[in-house]
Amino acid sequence: MLKFTKDHEWVSIEDDVATVGITQYAQEQLGDVVFVELPAKGSELAKGAAVAVVESVKAAFDVYSPISGEVTQVNESIVHEPGLVNSDPMGKGWFFKMKVAHAAEIESLMDETAYQALLG
């Protein structure tokens, strides 16, 4: 199941594990990504909290946790090769995986149709 936030994060949910990254639209707005800071493995994240940072040649912005949960894995590849966020934002450019704390929070996220409508 793929969901989106108004802050341009995507979330792929499989069982009780959520994989989080930024959308194609977000990476296009940023331009060339040069630095990524990820949350620590084991961190407890609250829905809506700023949990990661992405810097590009044009700007820096926070990545927010779309739901609450514990970080189970981080994508070290994008720390060493930030360009993966540009080249494959919805694939190899994922940021972190987390154990879903409250499944009901997923319902507050947008599906792809609603996200596309947000973009206009």
Asked whether residue 113 is assigned to any structural domain, the reply reads: no
Can you list the alpha helix ranges (DSSP code H) found in 15-109? 24-30, 76-80, 84-87
> Per the domain annotation, does 109 fall within a domain?
no
Exposure string for 24-58, b = 16+ CB within 10 A, e = fewer: bbbbeebeebeebebbeeebebebeeebbebebee
Within-domain flag for 56:
yes
pLDDT in tens, 90-112: 999 999 999 999 999 999 999 99
Q: Residue 117 falls within a domain, yes or no?
A: no
Calculate the average pLDDT of the chain. 97
Total domain count for the chain? 1
Question: In CATH, what number is assigned to the domain containing residue 18?
Answer: 2.40.50.100
φ and ψ at residue 73, rounded to 5 degrees: -160, 145
- 90 part of a folded domain: yes
Residue 31 lies in a domain: yes
**In the chain, which stretches have pLDDT less than 50?**
none
At position 107, the amino acid (one-letter code) is: E
The domain of 20 spans 2-102
The pLDDT score that the predictor gives to residue 85 is 97
Residue 120 in any domain: the answer is no
**pLDDT at site 108:** 95
pLDDT at 34: 97
